[in-house]
Amino acid sequence: MNLSERLNEDMKQAMKSKDKFKLSTIRLVRSTIKNLEIDLKRPLDDNEVLDILSREIKQRKDALQEFDKAGRTELAENAKAEIDIISQYLPAQLSEEEIKVIVQQTIQETGASSKAEMGKVMSALMPKVKGKADGKLVNQAVQQFLQ
């Protein structure tokens, strides 16, 4: 079962169990997927759906920070709950240690030795950790090793 099918099945389950919050969150994600499918005039593959899910989580994390700054606890709790729901569809996240190992391997593979070559490292690294790690953590790890 691919991610789109899994989202559809979970949406049906949320309808049956009358879980309105989960249902609305899944519907928002599905509408983003559907809009991109309409724009591209083809169904999306799992990698493209993963990109969308990652982007949705990033948007909610950014909003969560703003809600926390503004003291809007109710909105922050909603954003956290949405992140939890969407995270269920992403692959298991890599730990910081695993990220560091992958970063070191990629730096050795690319032969990078300075921050000027960070773009080369990131372009080789991101496909390896796609959907499995937060881009900020990966970026920080690369900067740490290229100092």
Instruction: Please provide the average confidence, as pLDDT, over all residues in the chain.
Output: 91
- The answer for residues whose C-beta is within 8 angstroms of residue 68's C-beta and 6 or more apart is 76
Span 65-85, pLDDT tens digits: 999 999 999 999 999 999 999
Task: Supply the pLDDT for residue 80.
Answer: 96
pLDDT value of position 93: 85
Give the tokens for residue 23: 């249902």
Query: What is the per-residue pLDDT for 116?
Result: 85
pLDDT greater than 80 at residue 22:
yes
Report CA-CA distances (Å) from 29 to 48, 72, 89. Answer: 13, 23, 11
pLDDT band, residue 96 (cuts 50/70/90): confident
Residue range 38-63: mean pLDDT, rounded: 92
Q: How far is Cα 135 from Cα 138, in angstroms, rounded to an integer?
A: 5
Q: Are 56 and 35 in contact (CB under 8 A)?
A: no
If pLDDT is split at 50, 70 and 90, which confidence band does 12 have?
A: very high
Q: How far apart are CA 100 and CA 111, in angstroms?
A: 16
* Residue 16's pLDDT band (cuts 50, 70, 90): very high
Query: Which residue has tokens 């991610």?
Result: 3
pLDDT, residue 25, reads 96
pLDDT, position 129: 87
Please give the share of the chain, as a percent, with pLDDT higher than 90: 55
* Contact in structure between 43 and 5 (CB atoms under 8 Å): no
| DSSP 8-state class, residue 43 | -
